[in-house]
Amino acid sequence: MRLLPVLAVLLLAAAPARAQQAVDSLFEKLYETQNPIEARQLERKIWEAWAASGSDTIDALMKGGMAVMETGDHARAEQIFTSMIELKPDFAEAYNKRATVRFLTMDYAGSVADIERTLQLEPRHFGALAGLGTIMEQLDNLEEALRAYRRALAANPHLPDASEKLKELRRRLDAREL
């Protein structure tokens, strides 16, 4: 009888490792592909994997938080994402979504703090890195914006518009130095 609880604990402990292996495999394929259509599909699968918490409750909160955010009720969306973080503090996508809401309300300091936590949990989070670049650009910190976009492009070499954004930031920085 005692074997059953031990097996359940072992299976639950293995689930996050398998999920991480799946994300690692998707990133390997993303780095290798030269096909833009395949890159978009892999990117979508990475986003889906990031959004999957492994908890039905957290997944329902994510879905609800996204729906509330889309209605423009940013205060309520932030509350939902904060609840997710309280329930599962190691869930990177909860921080990333709260960072998005905070960006939308121009709480750049709060957004950057959530992005930093997202990146501690998932250093390859190209969405968070691109968001950081956008915030730094909004704050006219072009050097940090350039650094963030470079990291985003390193994480996802197929990131839409990132190469153009890098060129634009370099041009703007060069113009400042004149």
**Each residue's pLDDT tens digit, 128-139:** 999 999 999 999
Is residue 16 situated within a structural domain?
no
* C-alpha 10 chain-centroid distance: 28
Would you say residue 15 lies in a domain? no
Percent of the chain as helix, strand, coil, to the nearest 5: 80, 0, 20
Alpha carbon distance 67, 138 (integer Å): 26
Please indicate, yes or no, if residue 2 is contained in any of the structural domains: no
Counted domains in the chain = 1
pLDDT at 163: 86
- Tell me which residue range forms the domain holding 70: 35-177
pLDDT at 16 (0 to 100): 62
pLDDT digits (tens, 9 = 90+) for 28-64: 999 999 999 999 999 999 999 999 999 999 999 999 9
Nearest to 50 by CA among 132, 4, 42: 42
Residues 6+ apart with CB under 8 A from 64: 80
Quote the radius of gyration of the chain (alpha carbons, Å).
18
Q: Is 4 part of a structural domain of the chain?
A: no
Q: Which amino acid is at 31?
A: Y
141 domain-assigned: yes
Q: What percent of the chain has pLDDT over 90?
A: 81
Residue 73 belongs to some domain of the structure = yes
Instruction: Note whether residue 11 is domain-resident.
Output: no
Give the side-chain half-sphere CA count within 13 A for 51.
16
- pLDDT for residue 14 is more than 70: no
| Element spanning 55, H or E | none
Contact between residue 147 and residue 177 where contact means Cβ atoms under 8 Å apart: no
Report whether pLDDT(96) > 80: yes
pLDDT tens digits, one per residue of 15-29: 566 778 889 999 999
- Looking at residue 123, which CATH number applies to its domain? 1.25.40.10
Task: Answer yes or no: is 14 within a domain.
Answer: no
Q: Which amino acid is at 142?
A: L
